[in-house]
Amino acid sequence: MLKHISIILLMVSVLIACGDSGKNSTGDDTGIPNELQGEGNTEVSDEAMDQIIQNFPAPVEMAALMESINVPYSQKYLFPTDVADDYNTSFKQAIGLGIYSTDLGYLNIYSKTSSIVQYITVIKRIADALKVGQFFDFPTLKRLATNNENLDSLMFLSVHSFNQMDDHLRMNNRSHLSALVVTGVWLEGLYLASQVYKDLPNAKIAERIGDQKLVLSDIMVILKGYKKDKNFENLIVDLEILEKVYEDVKITIIPGKPEMVEQDGMLVIKQNEQSVVDISEEQIKVITNKVEEVRNKLMSL
Amino acid sequence: MNRIAVALIFVLVFTGLTSKDALAQCKQQLVYSCATENGRAIYLRDFNAKLKKSKPGKPAFVARFSVVLNKGTRYRLNLCNPNGYEDRTMLILYDAKKEYGKTFYTAEEAGKQGVLELVKKNYKPEEYSVLPDGGIMLQKFDFVCEKSGVYFVAIQYMDGFTDRKGCAVGILSFVGKNK
């Protein structure tokens, strides 16, 4: 009887193991070699890597800043959707997913529902190619955008779908793709800020561009974890030039004690401890040019 | 023998399939309502916390999340609980050095910092509750970030409510550029 039970146990174990491996298989067909797919290939621990990736700002945050300081909307800052058809590797698709998600955030913030359909169509196609399309509720998003209805829900669904896709990639041993998605989000956000600054110089935007020094250093940590891949290596080389420029951007901290105040009918915690960014016009100009170059290069690979 | 085998298969398959989900996150419906019934603030991210139960006398399990916040931005943090879990959980915002804001203040803290007066004046009755011991539970608070960097959000059970597993949802939203 024990022999039979052992056989049954073995069969069940194999079945469960097979189920897991199927769930975690990436199905990546190009661009990123097998040894980079799955975890355990990085110098930083997988847990630390996930922690760093999940820190990154939401794709809508840079656009929200622009709108809150009354920067007018302009279509020219957005990445064209017609090139997305050429993204036939998971590397390009993941970067593209990040870039287009940031652009979708921008459109949402400015309530440009007529262009939103075009961007959600592209994002859905890329998400399907990366096998995360199930988290992108295309019919609902399309209906909300087409009917110009319930824009709060449209905003929520857009950002939430992105968060879920990113979570799914990380939870299923595809952190290499998640790293590219967040890099795309960050790069497009910085592109947006630097292009807006070129047109409408503003101290708050300059400060936000300077602040990206902190995020770039985290981006470099995660990308270097996958440097064995040629595409990653090229991206790292490009971003190292940007990192070099940021070396001279100074961020200092002025200590302070948080306090609780009343503002606009809310309990508001004011931090009072401040970071002060020292960035020159020349540095912003170099950053602007380099970001534009890297973005265009990535998307025309 | 057949019965034993069937029972074994059942137990193994059942535990194999359910172990990863034994601590369930809150349903997406709660995330949606928590994120969209939040004034004019723009949803950025949710912290869907699975809360483990703790043994009596042991500290409450804490679900931790990290997030980059940007200088000059006013953020809103709010906490939602599923039905039956109201006033049982709290959310704390902190960084590597100090705590900034939270959704629960003990009677002593509330007294010292004048929280009750601030809350009574500014919050709708359904947005806060005063506990029998004088402690105050808030649904939300705003944080004006003046230092860009990595921050942490902790969600945990209040003392005395750690005897069962559950969930809670924290929402981070963008209120605007602080003037």
**ipTM of predicted complex:** 0.81
Radius of gyration of the CA atoms of chain B, in A: 19
Mark yes or no for CB contact B43/A263 under 8 Å. Answer: no
* Main-chain dihedrals φ then ψ at residue A30, nearest 5 degrees: -150, 170
Domain parsing of chain B, residue ranges = 23-103+139-177
Q: What are the φ/ψ torsions at residue A70 (nearest 5 degrees)?
A: 65, 35
Q: What band does A51 get if pLDDT is binned at 50, 70 and 90? A: confident
For chain A, where are the E strands, in sequence order? 250-254, 259-263, 266-270, 274-278
Out of B42, B44, B122, the one facing A265 most closely (by C-beta) is B122
Determine the Cα–Cα distance for residues A14 and A128; give it in Å rounded to an integer: 29
pLDDT-derived band at B147, boundaries 50, 70, 90: very high
- Of A12-21, A49-58, A249-258, the poorest mean pLDDT is in A12-21
Token representation of residue A130: 């990366």
pLDDT at A17: 39
Going by pLDDT thresholds of 50, 70 and 90, the confidence category of residue A98 is very high
pLDDT band (50, 70, 90) for residue A53: confident
Q: Write a three-state SS string for B35-57.
A: HHCECECEEEEEEEEEECCCCCC
User: C-alpha distances in angstroms, A145 versus A84, A101, B65, B102?
Assistant: 21, 15, 32, 36
Model pLDDT, residue A44: 64
Q: How many CB atoms lie within 10 A of CB A7?
A: 11
Q: Check residue A232 and give its pLDDT.
A: 94
B123 CB neighbours in chain A (<8 A) are 267
Mean pLDDT of the region A229-234: 93
Nearest-by-Cβ selection for B174 from A64, A258, A265: A64
CA distances from residue A268 to A213, A228, A242, B147 in whole angstroms, order as listed: 28, 47, 36, 16
CATH no. for B23-103+139-177: 2.60.120.380
DSSP, res B158 = P
B46–A273 C-beta distance less than 8 A: no
pLDDT single digits (tens) A7-27? 554 444 444 433 333 333 333
Across the interface, of B114, B121, B148, the residue whose CB is closest to A214 is: B148
pLDDT tens digits, one per residue of B105-131: 999 888 877 888 888 888 888 889 998
Nearest neighbour of A211 by CB, restricted to B8, B71, B141: B71
- With beta carbons under 8 A apart, name residues in chain B contacting A275: 71, 146-149
Residues of B in contact with A214 (CB under 8 A): 68, 148-149
Q: Does A285 score more than 90 pLDDT?
A: yes
Whether A204 and B122 lie within 8 Å, measured CB to CB: no
pTM for this predicted structure? 0.82
Average pLDDT over residues A49-65: 84
Mean pLDDT across chain B, nearest whole number?
Answer: 82
Write out chain B residues lying below 8 Å of A208, CB-based: 70-72
Q: Could you tell me which of A163, A147, A157 has the C-alpha nearest to residue A57?
A: A163
A17 vs A248 pLDDT, higher one: A248
| Segment A98-105 mean pLDDT | 94
What average pLDDT score do residues A109-117 get? 91
Contacts of B72 in chain A (CB under 8 A): 204, 207-208
Stretch B55-73: mean pLDDT: 89
State the nearest Cα–Cα gap between A183 and chain B, in angstroms. 14
